[in-house]
Structure 1
Amino acid sequence: MGTLMVQAGTVASDADVETLRQIRNSGRQWMTRSTAEISPEQQAAWWTQRNARTCRVWLFRIADTAVGYGLLRLEHARWWCSLAVLPRFQGQGYGRAIYTYLACACDGDTWAEILADNRPSIRACLGAGFDLHAVLDQHALLVYRRNA
């Protein structure tokens, strides 16, 4: 597959925060922590309270069209990544491109927790250079080692 022309951009406006919420909700069934739908008010409150040093977020676009988001959060001295790709763009390599971006966006190892039955996301993560670390219950843990 050739290089995708997807661009990462910071979440800079209320409209971006809402786009982020819509993308997240479109893939909420695959989230590992909460699959509940997030309301605009809940999203705005989360955005206002988030610590930008320990929770970094990007929207990924083709021209002006959002295709997905990527998030890095520092938790227990590890960078954890999370992402979602809008259903109409899934299966086209965008997940892999976002995982690759996230792996390079922090200064240490990058970890991913993915539902074990979410094979497309696991394949995308492995394709971005992550290695399978463990499978626990229904979750797969993958890691991208910066100094491997």
Structure 2
Amino acid sequence: MSEHPGFELFPLTARQKVATMAASLLGLLLAALDQTIVATAGPEIQRDLHIVPSLYVWITTAYLVASTVMVPVWGKLSDLFGRKRILLAGMTIFLVGSTGCGLAQSTTQLIVMRAVQGLGSAALFTNAFAVIADMFPPADRGKYQGIYGGVFG
């Protein structure tokens, strides 16, 4: 019998837990980096696409708004359909958005693709924290959320 009832429904070996945590952390790192990465490349992007200052702010805002709105939606969907499916869907959407950003030839295309990236990144972010709740008992979750916070923050 487990010392933490309810946490043996899908028992994982230590190796599986490490692999799951690593995958979740990488997804979380992608989501975190993509929120702010435009700040570094922004001036160059603005020059290349001739973006007026009033639209420039939307490159970051579109991503953040889409991501923020979708976090609770992805959370519910991952409860209904499973973490793996939603994580893969989020990664696919994020990849499509990232590819679209790289291929964007106009401000509008870039803003739309940044919003698509945000939609996908929300699944990465949501699943990272849901995985902790699935794998660890409440008494241990704070430690692992701290690790995630170090990656995200």
Would the TM-score normalized by the shorter structure come out above 0.5? Answer: no
**Which is helix-richer, 1 or 2?**
2
Larger radius of gyration: 2
Q: Which structure exhibits the higher relative contact order, with contacts defined as CA atoms closer than 8 Å and separated by 6 or more residues? A: 2
TM-score scaled by length of structure 2: 0.25
TM-score scaled by length of structure 1: 0.26
